[in-house]
Chains A and B, each alone.
Chain A
């Protein structure tokens, strides 16, 4: 740990020394190409604020490179709070009510909760100079930005199921679950939409987009599918072979898991692979508003996106070559990538009546 820091700070010192030697004005050097001329001003203010507080649902390990890159570039400290999707939402609305806003930035995979924060007035608008480099669906009125594209797919135990037996399309999956009822009985896992916000988002997004979602749910029910409240629980059971397959799992995690767990495989349907995004917003009364803006820009820049992609979170930008980007990811999953657009559509099931109806239909399909 100490060695890391000292290496890093030495590198930083050397860089500073070199830039001083060449007598390049520090501000001008920092302003990325194509940014407005007064951006140096924003950087100066942000540096003065000195820190940026992020409330997030992303494991620190996955974003460590991004954090290090930002701090190295601007010398601004990051207070990184991994609170989970509900924790982040809860703390933001509680802090606002108490007039004690501490969060500068909320960066969460709960697209519906993030959109709710925007609709309820907890976010502030910021026209990022990087916004032009994002796909249109990734920017909601300059308040909510998609920072990743993460496919939703299937993990399976390679010792229990050879890759060539896996179904190719969404419809095939339904047939597959029906035809292998005896071998799959009690060995299919999926998210519990009642206990997991991510699970609810994945399932309800499918229900919005696929008429045959309920056939899939029914087929899972017939196989005695088990439901889990976390990705961790599902991954562990598939790694151990207790479950053969887990459906509607976060593919970005899975692509990383298969590298470290030799008996784990990841698979996507070629005709339909939905993808969710981690959305970033700047809070309304952000105490370090400038640092927050700087961080959003960095996160959306080619540099920041590369660092995220290296950490296993595929980039929304096509020009990023590290890791996967929205285009190469589409190739990887077989061409059927369907990112969930960042718009009011994600709020459909925030309506209580619809939500209860959906959950009732789900339980009926699963036979519970």
Chain B
């Protein structure tokens, strides 16, 4: 869910330091290049196998395993001649940029209020603000239909008062609004981290000179965090291009299609799935995404230079809001929370406990627990819950270990391999989870020594690992970079190898950070739904993908119950993350 960014703090700052400390004449045993090459090589195989398969598939005329498949550009010709493709592309662009227009100003504002002012209940708000990020978009979309859909309970309440429902969530603006609000946390994460590192002396100077809070924010703070804002905007455009759940649930009824739902349509449009056309659209998505990554990397480099100007270590003081300021600020955050958290979760909760809703229905008459008792009667549902827990708890822990190994390979290394690593990590991010899952299904089916693993949870774990790579690695790099270079340097000067330094110095120091990262990865694995659609089978069901397959037969009661269970599990994961001291905000 995140674009891998170069480790935020101190990267550029310590580059010079790194060069100074590790001159060319450094002993070879102290160089971790062998380890680095092996790790990055293994990672490249894990990522490039499915991505390569998709690119290869896009140049064929039929499924790659079909004897009829021939090389050719037919698939590209079809897609580029299809007016529905351009329509979907256009809608996707409007959707993504519209989302940015909502998420970036709002996320920036929330970041400002929480990091730079003396707003009340700061600790609690920080946690609440991130909640929408941890709920899968398909669950969010279901929740919204029940609360603010055309006959949602909030809509009907409003209609009773003013006579009409003044909104329509099944429209492009409705989708943009919902997606925009739910992506506010992503902006908040980046911008708040930038704001935390801003020296406050400039702001204070402006304040002393008589500028108002508003003037300071506009003329001092804003220009300094502008690079972070632009960075977050680019990230959101990227996320917009790969959104699937919200367009699937909200855009479908009115035929509003984006690129990911266009891919989905290609599975049925021709009767049998047209993998070559799906692959072409996936390749187009990658081609759109890569320049964005390149742009992000450049932006980040500039951002660092900019922020570094004020020097580090200055004491951060906060702006005083005053009484009316507090009220206004808290109301803004409260309203946003109501719309982005209370409405969807409330909708899902209501739906899980009723068997009918909407126009002319008294919800109290429809209360039932039967939606949950089904979980115990049907083995696949029960398995799904158990597997989701196993995959997120154990799989999450294993993933942290692997991400740590990768993180160490790139640690304090600014060479070519780091650039390679950045792009490798980002490739799977650019592809829709559905396509990554399908590619992994094939990899596990056609690569001989992997076939025994296909019907096990391991195949799902590997796919999840790759899908969660950019986010997970970013988390661990953020943790690793906090280790003071002096500690590593002193170990090295006393003759320790790099391996020894990592084992005895770096890992012990980052251990608390690892626990927090584990809990966060757990949540990310918990909310994943598209990746497992093709990979899960008898005994390896997972909640998210079960919801997608249940949608086909109309078991909405069961879906709502599963969605609520998934939210409760996410809540537990989040509580655990906080207990373990996870720094959600870098």
Contact = CB atoms under 8 A, between A and B. Distances in A.
Contacts of A79: 537-539
B252 A355 contact: no
Contact of B268 (A61, A200, A231): A200
B23 interface: no
A160 B550 contact: no
Interface string A61-105: 110100000000000001111111111011101110110101000
Contact of B264 (A83, A195, A228): A195
A230 interface: yes
Contacts of A226: 253-254
Given A82-B380, A94-B445, A236 B556 contact: yes
Contacts of A87: 533-534, 549
A250 B539 CA distance: 28
A349 B253 CA distance: 24
B255 A227 contact: yes
A19 interface: no
Contact of A232 (B150, B272, B445, B552): B552
A232 B559 contact: yes
Interface stretch (A33-41, A261-269, A323-331): A261-269
A349 B271 contact: yes
Interface in B313-368: 355-361, 366
B377 interface: yes
A62 to B, nearest CB: 8
A194 B274 CA distance: 13
Interface stretch (A21-29, A52-60, A125-133): A52-60
Contacts of B441: 91, 94
A1 B373 CA distance: 10
B493 interface: no
B167 to A, nearest CB: 14
Contacts of A200: 268, 271
Contacts of B366: 262
Contacts of A54: 538
Contacts of A59: 550, 553, 555
Interface in B255-274: 255, 264-265, 267-273
A157 interface: yes
B359 A102 contact: no
A180 interface: no
A206 interface: no
A260 B557 contact: yes
Interface string A334-368: 00000000000000011010010001000000001
Contacts, number: 185
B423 to A, nearest CB: 29
Contacts of B208: none
Contacts of B539: 79
A214 interface: no
A116 to B, nearest CB: 7
B382 interface: yes
B357 A240 contact: yes
Nearest to A350: B271
Contacts of A241: 151, 358-361
A14 to B, nearest CB: 22
B378 interface: yes
A81 B555 contact: no
Interface of B: 63, 65-66, 145-146, 149-152, 249, 252-255, 264-265, 267-273, 355-361, 366, 370, 374, 376-382, 438, 441-442, 445-446, 451, 454-455, 533-534, 537-539, 549-559
A262 B537 CA distance: 34
A261 B355 contact: yes
Given A60-B378, A98-B445, A159 B361 contact: yes
Contact of A235 (B255, B377, B556): B556
Highest count of chain B CB atoms <10 Å: which of A113, A116, A250, A263: A263
A222 interface: no
Contact of B359 (A53, A64, A160): A160
A183 to B, nearest CB: 13
A175 interface: no
Contacts of A304: none
A165 interface: no
Of A62, A116, A240, A349, most buried by chain B (CB within 10 Å of CB) is A240
Contacts of B446: 97-98
A257 interface: yes
A82 to B, nearest CB: 6
Contacts of A160: 359-360
Nearest to A90: B273
A270 interface: no
The 3 closest A-B pairs by CB, nearest first: A241-B359, A240-B358, A97-B65
B550 A232 contact: yes
A91 B455 CA distance: 12
7 contacts: A80-B379, A86-B273, A93-B63, A97-B66, A228-B252, A239-B358, A262-B366
A352 B441 CA distance: 27
B65 A113 contact: no
A227 B252 CA distance: 7
Contacts of B552: 57, 84-85, 230-232
Interface centre among B253, B451, B455, B557 (most CB of A within 10 A): B253
A234 B360 CA distance: 18
B273 A102 contact: no
A264 B270 contact: no
B124 to A, nearest CB: 34
Interface string A220-257: 00000011111111111101111000000010010001
B365 to A, nearest CB: 8
B15 to A, nearest CB: 47
A362 to B, nearest CB: 12
A94 B271 contact: no
B211 to A, nearest CB: 51
A94 B65 contact: yes
A75 to B, nearest CB: 16
Contacts of B361: 159, 241, 263
B359 to A, nearest CB: 3
B359 A240 contact: yes
Contacts of B149: 240, 242
Contacts of A84: 549, 552
